[in-house]
Amino acid sequence: MVFKADYEVFTAPSGSEALQILHAKPIDVVTLDLRMPGMPGVEVMEHIKRFDPDIEIIVVTGYASLDSAVRGLRNRVFDYVTKPFDVPQISDLVRRAVARRREAQHARRVKDDFLANLSHELRTPLSAIIGYNSILTEELHTRLTEDQRIAFDRIQANSQKLLNLIETVLLLNSLDARELQVAVSSFDVRETVRRAARQFAAAARQRGLTLAVEGDATPLWVTTDEHKLERVLWALIDNAVKFTPHGSIALSAVVAADRSKFEIRVRDTGIGIANAGIAQLVDDLTSTPAPGGRGLGLGLRMALRLTEFLGGELRVNSQLGRGTQFTIALPIFAADPRSGRLPHDA
Q: pLDDT for 290-301, tens place per residue?
A: 333 444 477 888
CATH code where residue 192 lies: 3.30.565.10
Judge if 140 and 73 occupy the same domain: no
Rounded CA-CA distance 196/202 in Å is 12
pLDDT recorded at residue 326: 94
Judge if 196 and 338 occupy the same domain: yes
Judge if 197 and 335 occupy the same domain: yes
pLDDT recorded at residue 70: 52
Looking at the structure of the chain, the number of domains it has is 3
Judge if 26 and 118 occupy the same domain: no
Q: Is 261 left (phi over 0), alpha (psi -120 to 50) or beta?
A: beta
Entry pTM: 0.62
Rounded CA-CA distance 66/73 in Å is 11
Judge if 192 and 57 occupy the same domain: no
Whether residue 212 contacts residue 256, with contact meaning beta carbons closer than 8 Å, is answered with no
Q: Which of 157, 176, 195 delimits the end of a domain?
A: 176
Q: How many alpha carbons fall within 13 Å on the CB side of residue 278?
A: 15
Judge if 112 and 66 occupy the same domain: no
Q: Out of 70-79, 124-133, 178-187, 216-225, which region has the weakest mean confidence (pLDDT)?
A: 70-79
H helical segments located in 177-255: 189-199, 201-206, 226-242
Assign 75 a pLDDT band (cuts: 50, 70, 90): low
Rounded CA-CA distance 205/243 in Å is 14
Q: How far apart are the first and last CA of the chain?
A: 31
Judge if 307 and 230 occupy the same domain: yes
**Burial category of 88 from C-beta neighbours within 10 Å (exposed 0-12, middle 13-18, buried 19 and up):** exposed
SS3 53: coil
Judge if 324 and 249 occupy the same domain: yes
The mean per-residue pLDDT over the stretch 257-279 comes to: 85
Judge if 220 and 118 occupy the same domain: no
Q: pLDDT for 242-263, tens place per residue?
A: 999 999 999 999 999 888 899 9
The mean per-residue pLDDT over the stretch 114-139 comes to: 84
Q: Which residues contact 241 (CB under 8 A, 6 or more apart)?
A: 200, 203, 204, 207, 209, 211, 249
Residue type, 11: T
Q: Which residues contact 270 (CB under 8 A, 6 or more apart)?
A: 240, 243, 244, 245, 247, 323, 324
Range(s) of the domain holding residue 166: 107-176
